[in-house]
Amino acid sequence: MNVRARQREVTRATLLRESRRLFAARGYGAVSLSEIVAAAGVTKGALYHLFESKAELFRAVLEQVQQEVARIVAETADAEDDPWTRFTAGCQAFLTASTAPDIQRIMLVDGPAVLGWNEWRAMDEAGSGSHLADVITELIDQGLIPPQPVAPLTHLLSGAMNEAALWLAASGDPEAHLPDTRAALARMLDALRLP
């Protein structure tokens, strides 16, 4: 990698880090591009060389957050040997990771508001939705869940987990409500399993 390309990557990483910090603390709408470039120590020209707009910068931050949550879910699930336990551990890990205030604000609150529902859903489906569908297909193939269309079940579970994370965020004390929410999710998932 040449010096210019390396500098570009450093600048991009700095902009993403500072944007994420500011978006998480105050929300997309309350953060200006001037604040972002000042925090990153770069010019607006440098920002516009890498991102066409504040919304495009936010999209890159959202992708980073989604990848981080996906990594947490995968690491948690992959630590389990049993397919059913992998599934439930992954779902619980998503719920727990999504209760972090910065992740909630960026991924669940500002994401749909800034990018629009359709683009946000497309990003969600391409990431966690696709992985969830693969896991459900595997569980059906192994006879752990009754045969059924995968897409509706994937959307129902994804929507329930996203809504639970949003409810936790709005509750004022996510940590206090997380155990009950995790227990409710466990009961819901267990109801899917064949006896």
Using 50, 70 and 90 to split pLDDT, how confident is the model at 108? Answer: confident
Nearest-CA neighbor of 120 among 66, 165, 73?
66
Tell me what the mean pLDDT of segment 19-34 comes to.
97
Domain ranges of the chain: 1-51, 59-192
| pLDDT tens digits along 151-185 | 999 999 999 998 998 898 888 888 899 999 999 99
Concatenating the DSSP letter of every residue in the chain gives: --HHHHHHHHHHHHHHHHHHHHHHHH-GGG--HHHHHHHHT--HHHHHHH-SSHHHHHHHHHHHHHHHHHHHHHHHHHT-SSHHHHHHHHHHHHHHHTTSHHHIIIIIIIHHHHH-HHHHHHHHIIIIIHHHHHHHHHHHHTTSS-S--HHHHHHHHHHHHHHHHHHHHHTS-HHHHHHHHHHHHHHHHHHHS--
Residue 74: its pLDDT value, please?
A: 92
Query: What is the structure's pLDDT at 126?
Result: 83
Tell me which of 85-89, 97-101, 106-110 is least confident: 97-101
Q: Which of 147, 129, 126 is nearest to 138 (CA)?
A: 147
- pLDDT of res. 188: 97
Nearest to 97, CA basis, from 80, 75, 120:
75
Per-residue confidence (pLDDT) for residue 121, from 0 to 100? 85
* Confidence bin at 29 (pLDDT 50/70/90): very high
**CATH architecture for residues 59-192:** Orthogonal Bundle (1.10)
> In the chain, what percentage of residues exceed pLDDT 70?
100
Residue 98 pLDDT > 90: no
Q: Is 152 exposed, middle or buried (0-12, 13-18, 19+ CB in 10 A)?
A: exposed
C-alpha distance from residue 40 to each of 47, 51, 105, 129 (Å): 10, 14, 21, 33
CATH 2.60.40.10 fits 1-51, yes or no: no
Mean pLDDT throughout 53-67?
Answer: 96
Q: What is the mean pLDDT of residues 136-142?
A: 97
Mean confidence (pLDDT) of the chain: 93
Residue 129 has pLDDT above 90, yes or no: no
